[in-house]
Every structure is written in C-alpha cells, then in structure tokens.
C-alpha cells in the first residue's frame, strides 16, 4: 500500500485540523468502508492516521459504527499502536465530569455487533484477561499527570448498546457491580485491535454522571447537550494529551500486544 502510518487515533477533525500537510485517503477493506476518510499527517517524526469513529458528520450511532473496517484499515496502513479517546459517563462520585480515566478492563453489555475477525475457516481464541496495552496505559497516565490533568490510573468501563442512555435502575446496577465508567463504543473496538495485534489504549473523558448518583437529587440524568458541552470544554486537554503521547511514543517498539 502506498500510504503508511505508525500510530492511529480515533478522533474527529479537531485532532488534526491544525497540523500541516494533512492528506485524506479512502481505504477499502474486506469488511466494507471505514467510518470516513482517514487523515494522514506527521507529528514530529511519526506518521499518524486519524479516523473519526462516528464519521465526520457523526452519522454512525454507536451500535452501527463499522468497527471491523475501522480497525482493519488501520492495520492495512501499518498502524501498530492506537490511542482511542472516548466521551464517557461516571458511575462513581469520586470520578467527576472533566476527569480522565485510563481504563484497564471492560464489561460488554452490547448485543448483535460484529465483534471478531475469526469467523472461520481460521478460528482463534485469544485471551481478553488484560484487554488494554499496559505500556500505553502507563504512558497515558504519566503524560496526563505531567500536564496537570486529573487522571485516574484504572477503571472498568461497562459498554452499553446505545444510542439511548441508561435507565436509573440500570445505572444503579452498574454502580453496585463496582464498575467505574460507562460508554457505548469500547466494545468491540478494543478487542478487535487485540485480535489484529495492535496496541490499544482508551482515554475516557468523563462528561456526566450517567443517570445520576444514588441519593444525590442535585445531579440530573445525562443528556446529549451536556455531554457535548463538557467534551468541548475539555477538547483542548484531550488534544494536548494525545499529541504529547505521540511525541513520547517509540514507533519501533516491540510489545507483547503484537504477539497475541
């Protein structure tokens, strides 16, 4: 393939609009078209591929994002490491809107999504015990702390089907299970990267308290407007964190993730 990249980022045009010499390319895959064109740019000495997981016009709801095409396109470009920021809700009072969480576990509550590349005749059973790249997690935590961001160094994200938000009862159940963060896109994105031998880290930007917190009538249930508002208020912090991570990343690293 003519086009190549070292690092992938699932993020909208705000992540690369200020970079020079950005080239947008169309990539076809055996799993259909990715969410949108992929933007290729240089960050220092690294070639980076940016792809908005929902599409530039946010035309794909969480349950219809073409996850397999997105990940396969990154693999086709030669990407070996992916940074995946997400807007997420908090299930705990100590994890506040505006905080970042570097997740270390997920719980899948989705249904019907195409969530594996191993559909036969080749069948593999990979371990999902540690779904995220520990090396990239440590880099994200260190970089965030260096930038003065309130960043939580671990968290379990429960992934719901969407596009609706949780009921009060569902949210109460998720909290009672000890889960920390709620999101609609981490599955199967995370595990598809693992199947392809790509390092993957999620940085969850907390935008809300889901359906509210138990015993806190002053905290209203999440709504779309509030999510967008908090995300936009913190977008510059997300960009700064990701760009600094890219600068600190070793593009020639050999990681256990590459040998799943």
Q: How far does Cα 190 stand from its chain's mean position? A: 8
Among the options 208, 217, 252, 254, which is catalytic? 208
Distance CA 87, CA 103 (A): 13
Return the beta strands (E) in 36-178 as ranges: 38-43, 46-51, 81-90, 100-102, 105-109, 151-152, 156-160
Decide: 199 and 82 in contact? Cβ < 8 Å. yes
Count Cβ atoms below 10 Å from residue 157 Cβ, excluding itself: 29
Distance CA 62, CA 64 (A): 6
Residue identified by tokens 């390319």 is 25
Among the options 36, 146, 210, 254, which is catalytic? 210
Count Cβ atoms below 10 Å from residue 18 Cβ, excluding itself: 10
Nearest to 208 by CA among 192, 224, 196, 194: 224
Query: Can 208 be counted among the known catalytic residues?
Result: yes
Decide: 5 and 48 in contact? Cβ < 8 Å. yes
Angle formed by the axes of helices 235-248 and 224-233, nearest 10°: 50
Catalytic amino acids? 208, 210
């Amino acid at each position: 393939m003519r086009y190549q990249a070292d690092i992938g980022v699932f993020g909208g045009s705000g992540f690369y609009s200020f970079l020079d010499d950005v080239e947008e390319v169309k990539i076809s895959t055996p799993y259909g078209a990715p969410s949108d064109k992929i933007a290729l740019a240089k960050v220092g000495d690294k070639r980076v591929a940016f792809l908005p997981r929902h599409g530039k016009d946010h035309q794909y709801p969480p349950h219809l994002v073409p996850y397999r095409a997105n990940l396969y396109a990154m693999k086709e470009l030669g990407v070996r490491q992916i940074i995946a920021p997400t807007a997420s809700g908090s299930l705990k009072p100590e994890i506040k809107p505006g905080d970042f969480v570097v997740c270390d576990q997920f719980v899948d509550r989705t249904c019907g999504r195409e969530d594996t590349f191993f559909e036969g005749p080749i069948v593999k059973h990979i371990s999902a015990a540690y779904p995220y790249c520990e090396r990239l997690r440590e880099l994200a935590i260190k970089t965030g702390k260096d930038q003065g961001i309130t960043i939580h160094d671990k968290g379990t994200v429960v992934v719901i089907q969407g596009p609706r938000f949780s009921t009060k009862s569902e949210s109460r159940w998720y909290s009672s299970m000890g889960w920390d963060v709620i999101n609609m896109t981490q599955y199967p994105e995370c595990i598809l990267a693992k199947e392809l031998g790509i390092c993957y880290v999620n940085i969850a930007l907390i935008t809300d308290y889901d359906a509210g917190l138990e015993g806190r009538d002053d905290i209203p249930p999440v709504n779309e407007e509030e999510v967008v508002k908090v995300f936009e208020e913190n977008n510059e912090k997300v960009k700064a964190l990701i760009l600094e991570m890219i600068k600190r990343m070793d593009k020639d690293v050999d990681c256990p993730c590459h040998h799943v």
